[in-house]
Copies of this chain bind each other. A is one copy, B any other.
Amino acid sequence: MISTKGRYALRVMLDLAQNNDGNYVPLKDIAERQEISKKYLEIIVKEMVAGGLIVGASGKGGGYKLLRKPEEYTVGEILELMEGTLSPVACLADKDFDCSRRKECLTLPMWKEFDEIVHNYFYNKKLTDLL
């Protein structure tokens, strides 16, 4: 299940792509258009700035804008940043996950295959594919 964080982040990115005229877009406007609590979006957008997806500017005339061209973002990188991982199981999400049953695990190959399908799907989906 993708959480609201991931879903809202995606909608913020789409909103920014649709209002990508070079100016900063105030969060207030995004929150109103998307009907999402501005306060909650603050938390989300902060992570998006930290993650290098967008840039913020304080003060009057400030707001947020994309750092790259809309077609240069993939849905995968947005979701993965917000969700932490797209992997279906902990043993694939964590590089350091230590499972004593790893060698004999009958289900691991399936999770690996599925993980790749998910990864491929979202990383081949550009932000602009949704517009």
**Interface residues in chain A, defined as those with a beta carbon under 8 Å from any beta carbon in chain B:** 1-2, 7, 10-11, 14, 35, 75, 87-90, 93, 100-101, 106-107, 109-111, 114, 117-118, 121-122, 125, 129-131
Contacts and interface: CB of A to CB of B under 8 A. Distances in A.
Contacts of A117: 117, 121
Contact of A101 (B35, B101, B107, B109): B35
A125 B110 contact: yes
18 contacts: A1-B1, A1-B88, A1-B90, A1-B93, A2-B88, A2-B111, A7-B89, A11-B106, A11-B107, A14-B106, A35-B100, A75-B110, A106-B130, A106-B131, A107-B130, A109-B130, A114-B121, A117-B121
Chain A at the B interface: SS class: helix
B89 A1 contact: yes
A77 B122 CA distance: 24
Contacts of A101: 35
